[in-house]
A and B are shown apart, each in its own frame.
Chain A
Amino acid sequence: MSIEETTVHHHAHHFASADDEFEAAKQGMWIFLVTEVLMFGGLFVAYAIFRGLYPEMFHAAHQHLAVNMGATNTVVLITSSLTMALAVSSTQKGKRDHAIIYLVLTLLAACCFLVIKYFEYTHKFHDGLLPGGLFTNTELKDPKSPLFFSLYFMMTGLHGIHVLIGMGVITWILRRTVRHEFSPGYYTPVELVGFYWHFVDLVWIYLFPLLYLVG
């Protein structure tokens, strides 16, 4: 990594300095993550209310989730958060080659997460463990059971969409890293994508015990 490879970043015309621009971008990202918390918050509230109303049903229904797969995915995502943090730190230090490796590892972990999720979902579809009115499973006798799977699919589905978006933006910064667009003087997008990815990880850390480890 030589000095010649790093490009000088020119900040946008309406900011006084590159530092101001960086601080503004960071603040914007934090506010965005707050909105994300509130959006997931609606689902968590719905979960809390129905679990309070039908605790036995939640307990019976959750036994149809694959704890092994969920636990594996938790490890996979936490690992991906580590590689993401290392990618950010490598970029800050100007170690572009390391950053590329860590970003690729993060992407692979995200893929791995979705593949495991895919197998989980197809298994649920096969067993008729579907949301609400589409539910056809006959093993679960409680007529409220479909609600658990509605929440399961909505919560993990919304999270899955966030993983997909995360993969998109990680690919984007990977491409820009390969093109030498970041340097210790300018790495705002890498840092912000890092924020976002840790948030996606954090949501899963809550989803896993709430859905897979009831009672």
Chain B
Amino acid sequence: MANSSATAHTGNHYLNHSKGLMSWLTTLDHKRIGVMYLFSVLTFFLMGGVFALLIRMELFKWGGHNLLEANTYNKLFTYHGAIMVFLVVIPSIPAALGNFILPLMLGAKDVAFPRLNLASYYIFMTGACFAVLALFMRGADTGWTFYTPYSIRTNTTVILVLFGAFIAGFSSILTGLNFIVTIHKLRAPGLTWDRLPLFCWALYATSIIQVLATPVLAITLALLCMERIFQIGIFDPKLGGDPVLFQHFFWFYSHPAVYIMILPAMGVISEVIPVFSRKPIFGYKAIAYSSFGIALIAFIVWGHHMFVSGQSEFANFIFSLLTMFVAVPTGVKTFSWLATMYRGSLHFNAPMLYALGFLELFTIGGLTGIFLATLAIDVHLTDTYFVVAHFHYVMVGGTLMGLMAGLHYWFPKMVGKMYPEKPALIAFWLIMIGFNITFFPQFILGAQGMPRRYWSYLPEFTLLNRISTVGSWLIGIGFFYTAHYLAKAMRKGEKAVANPWNALTLEWQTSSPPPHENFIETPVVTSWPYEYLPENTTMPVNA
């Protein structure tokens, strides 16, 4: 693809370019900022994950009072949701992997606004601190959706969580802004739009949503804070306000936010599948443009979260219809990935396994979304475990699988060491099997009418809840094991070559880990990044 080969360098790279804690905390290097995001996000993932395990422990036995009191349980599921959504899944791929990879893929030395990039990291951490601070006070028990009027009346410290999410939102906006300008202005010579890697296309579409939707969340959360401080009454029915307006505002952001979560994961999958199938990507333009189709539809379907809120029947009908359209661009992507793999020379390394896991789980998540988009069925399934299972299949099965695929795929580039393949396969199967054992029974529980967010349940739901809890242990073990072998590989893993996967995108054409300014010479792009030839089926790592 490029004429800048991975030249032997002097052993000087971004990790040892400067030393000491301060050199990290004040760095303007997008790679270091990406790594700091990654570690922060993974720390919050640990917190959110432990909360999830506690929730499942409580539900292991019927009747409540097992491990947690009812109020503690409410706080835990609120924290699990808020942390996972705002501090893990939303920033995970764009802010952590995207920050690291995007400028490398573009052949650029950095993002357009490096100082803004560092600022957005600190803004993110400030928001996170506020949210976590509330944990040590009276917590929050509203669920991550903060529905009014309960969120106005509860005596928990929900205001700190709101303020934290409000602040963290600006970090998301600034990252999106930075990425859009970077993609427009900093592409290497010859990297025309129709040669742009699909991960960049996906991040571009994601950034547009971040920039357009997040400010609405900001004003919504700000109004809710004002509601608690000055009783402004805009969302409070007692003062003439409208609680359903809050739901409209909230979902105007939070539905597009679902695509902030999934689009970057789709971008990772679009990179991994051609590399590990040793075949040109099928439907390059279709995959690139369908991201924008998804981004566009994202803004006009928020009402499907509100079918039972009392909005008009007509609105319900329109939102239901529009929601079905999401299936079109999503299907375009899925079938393009399948067609890419068809008759390819498949290599089942960990990134590819996670990509296949993504395809399986995201398809189940997507298809059950159609149940929920169908008005008559949704009335029955609203606020049941069916919804919980559906969005975990999409968020965990989609985004988290994408994150794990990307993390393993780019691990050699980020730290210059290989992850060990066999432990990675074991961890993958633990997570994959554990995930299905945890969440598939929840579809059945939901269809049978078990409501979400309840501390206890009817005795006949005991067996399925037990199965689900056992599954959560497998997921837990899988992730702890992953943390263990990745940490070990960072210290004493096998040294990675510049391009262990024999991939064609630009980030692989520089050394692993990359030098401080990414490339010794600015690369010049002369071809499309997916031109995998039939005779070129080997990878150094598998040779």
Residues of A within 8 A of B (CB): 12-15, 20, 23-25, 27-28, 31-32, 34-36, 38-43, 45-46, 49-50, 54, 130-134, 143-144, 146-147, 150-151, 153-154, 158
Contact = CB atoms under 8 A, between A and B. Distances in A.
Given A133-B239, A147-B239, A13 B109 contact: yes
A144 B178 CA distance: 43
Contacts of A15: 185-186
B306 interface: no
A11 to B, nearest CB: 12
B173 A46 contact: no
B226 interface: yes
Nearest to B240: A144
Nearest to B212: A38
Contacts of A49: 242, 245
12 contacts: A12-B114, A14-B109, A14-B186, A15-B185, A27-B181, A28-B178, A31-B177, A46-B223, A50-B240, A132-B227, A132-B231, A143-B240
Contact of A35 (B109, B215, B226): B215
A35 B173 contact: yes
Contact of A147 (B111, B186, B219, B233): B233
User: Of B113, B220, B234, B245, which is in contact with the most chain A CB atoms at under 10 Å from its CB?
Assistant: B234
Contacts of A154: 223, 226, 232, 234
Contact of B216 (A23, A32, A42, A144): A42
Contact of B219 (A12, A32, A39, A150): A39
A27 B108 contact: no
Nearest to A49: B245
Contacts of B214: 35
B63 interface: no
Given A14-B108, A28-B113, 18 more contacts: A14-B103, A15-B186, A24-B112, A24-B186, A25-B113, A31-B211, A34-B212, A35-B215, A38-B215, A46-B223, A50-B242, A131-B226, A132-B232, A132-B233, A133-B231, A134-B230, A147-B239, A147-B241
Interface of B: 103, 108-114, 116, 173, 177-178, 180-181, 184-186, 211-216, 218-220, 223, 226-227, 230-234, 236, 239-242, 245, 249, 517
Contacts of B180: 27, 31
Contacts, number: 120
Contacts of B213: 38
Contacts of B211: 31, 34-35
Contact of A131 (B108, B181, B216, B232): B232
B133 to A, nearest CB: 24
A81 B13 CA distance: 48
B34 to A, nearest CB: 15
Contact of B185 (A24, A45, A54, A144): A24
B537 to A, nearest CB: 36
Contacts of A50: 234, 240, 242
Given A27-B185, A28-B181, A35-B173, A14 B239 contact: no
A28 B111 CA distance: 12
Contacts of A54: 240
A130 B229 CA distance: 13
A32 B234 CA distance: 27
A34 B180 CA distance: 13
Given A35-B173, A38-B212, A147-B240, A131 B219 contact: no
